[in-house]
Every structure is written in C-alpha cells, then in structure tokens.
A and B are shown apart, each in its own frame.
Chain A
Amino acid sequence: MSEPISALAGKNAEGFARVSEAGLQGMITLRGNLASAALAAAVKAATGCALPGNRGIHTKAGKAAAWMSPDELLLLVPYGEAEATAAALEAALAGEHALAANVSDARALFRVSGAKADQVAMKLCPVDFARLPQGEIRRTRAAQVAAALWRSAPDEISLVCFRSVAGYVFDLLAISARTGSELAPA
C-alpha cells in the first residue's frame, strides 16, 4: 500500500511566527444526540475525553473531542486509527441515530506557533483571540474559506481547513506572518 500524503506534505514558513502544515491527522465527524449517554461513552472510548460543552475542546494523550454544533463533534485521533475508530463508533452507536465518518483526508491541519501566533490569525479570522482560552474551539473563517481553530498550546494555534484549499490557507498564513508586519503598535 502506498504511503498516504497530507495536502502539503508538511510544508512550512518562518516569519514572526512559524506556520506549518501538520501532516496527517485522524479526524472523525460524529453527529448524534450529544445528550445521549451512549454517545458520551463512545466518545470516551474513542478519545479518552469527556464530552465537551459548547465551543469546547477536550484533549487527552494526543486525542481530542471538539464541539462543532449542537449535534456534531470533531474527534481527533492518530491518523492510522481513524478508520477503525469511526467503525468502532458506528458499532457502539448502532442502537441510536448517529453518523460517524472518517474525514481525515478531507482536511488539512496547520499549526501557527510562536509568541505572536495570535497576530497571524488576527489578520484572517474574525475572532477575539484575547478572549480565546485554551480548551475552546472556534468555527470561523480564514479570509475566504471556512476554518476551525483552537489553542493547542500557550503559544500555538491549530487551524483546520478543507484539504482542497490547503495551499490557499498556507499562503494566507505565510504572508500574514511575514516579519515586520506584526500588529503590535509602535
């Protein structure tokens, strides 16, 4: 079997913050009744995380569960486990109305890192980063395309977009991170 390739194969750019495509990330779209105990249990089994509240993202040992909408979660697992995890979720939720789909290949994941990482994203996303704590995820846009982002570390923002626009988003992030164009006032 051929080796899977992420959209930009780990491309990166250095400016006043570092922009890198994070390679392959397992992602599962889970739609269902978020009030259901079975769903919470299935999420726990798949990610080790408790169900996140509105706009929340819970992370544990390299896996995560993120709130997307009142009936949708995004689960993050290692790329190689995504297909099996999706199948396990489908099986665990067989008794109720739910949908679990592996969307790992439909997405691209970027990390913007450095002390000024926020300033890169501020140029593209209408998000109040000063009031975005760790543990929150935002579905927003990056310039002209849909995106979701969260603080994956104190000095790091993770941003997910659709795979087909990975090149566009990389170029957006790279030009926004160009040295000298910091937003900090003089």
Chain B
Amino acid sequence: MTVLTEIPGLSRVREHFLDLLPERLETIAMSLQAASHGVDPAQIAALLEPADITLHRIAGAAGSLKLGDLGAHARRAELEVAAYRFACRESDPSDFNRVAAEIEDFVAAASAV
C-alpha cells in the first residue's frame, strides 16, 4: 500500500506561492506604513486590515507547502495584528510600536525565504 505523504505537483504550487510572496510582503509593508499615519484607533484598525488578511493567507498555506517556519511566523504576526485591531475597535489600543516591530520582523524574515 502506498502512503500518500506529499501532494504530487506540490513543488509547482510552492513555486507559485513563493512568486506571489514579494507582492504579499509589499501589501503588508504598505498596510503598516499607512497605519502608522492613522489618526484614530478605528482608522488604524481599518488600515491594518490588508496586513491582517495577507498574514492570514500566508499562515494558512505555507505549512501545507512545507514552509512550516514561515507559516508559524506569519501566524504569530497575524495574531498580534488581529489582537491590536480588536483593541483599536474597542478604543483601547496597546503599543503600536510593538505590533509594528512584529510585522517588520516577519517581513524581514519572509524576504529571506
């Protein structure tokens, strides 16, 4: 009996994922930059949405493409951003620098993949 451990053609999907990665990292960086100029918590939460969505997508797919470390890092950053956006919506945001550092750290690490 053959035990299926990897999807045939997985490398092709992984290549596509890696081709898309720079564009996605750009989206995350732009979102962070825009949020850094936000004037109130509600606006900052809205401006961080593209970063949140993109991190969520990377976290969801990377692990299945044998890029587990990248996926786990994206998940940590996603949770940080999601928690910060929630706090913004509750008008009780924590330190923006902390979430910014988490995103920047992820973008730097992912750029090296």
Q: Do A and B come from one complex?
A: no
